[in-house]
Amino acid sequence: MAILAADGSSIVKEQTVKACLSQSLFVNETDGYVEANDDVYQLMQDLIKRYRHTIGHLLNVQIKILFKKKTSKKNGKKVLGRASVFPEKDMHFHPYTFLIELDKTYWQDCPDKREPLLFHELCHCWIGEDNKASIRPHDLEEFSEVVRFYGAWESDVKHFGEQLQLGLEFKEEAE
Q: Which domains does the chain have, with CATH numbers?
A: 1-27 (no CATH), 32-137 (3.30.2010)
Residue-averaged pLDDT of the chain: 82
Quote the pLDDT of residue 157: 85
Quote the strand ranges of 89-174, DSSP E: 98-103, 125-127, 133-135
pLDDT tens-place string over residues 85-94? 999 888 888 9
Quote the pLDDT of residue 28: 40
Angle between helix 38-50 and 114-124 (nearest 10)? 70
Quote the pLDDT of residue 126: 97
What pTM was computed for the model? Answer: 0.69
Quote the pLDDT of residue 141: 64
pLDDT tens-place string over residues 107-165? 999 999 999 999 999 999 999 999 999 999 987 667 889 888 998 888 888 887 888 88
What is the length of the chain? 175
pLDDT at residue 57 tops 90: yes
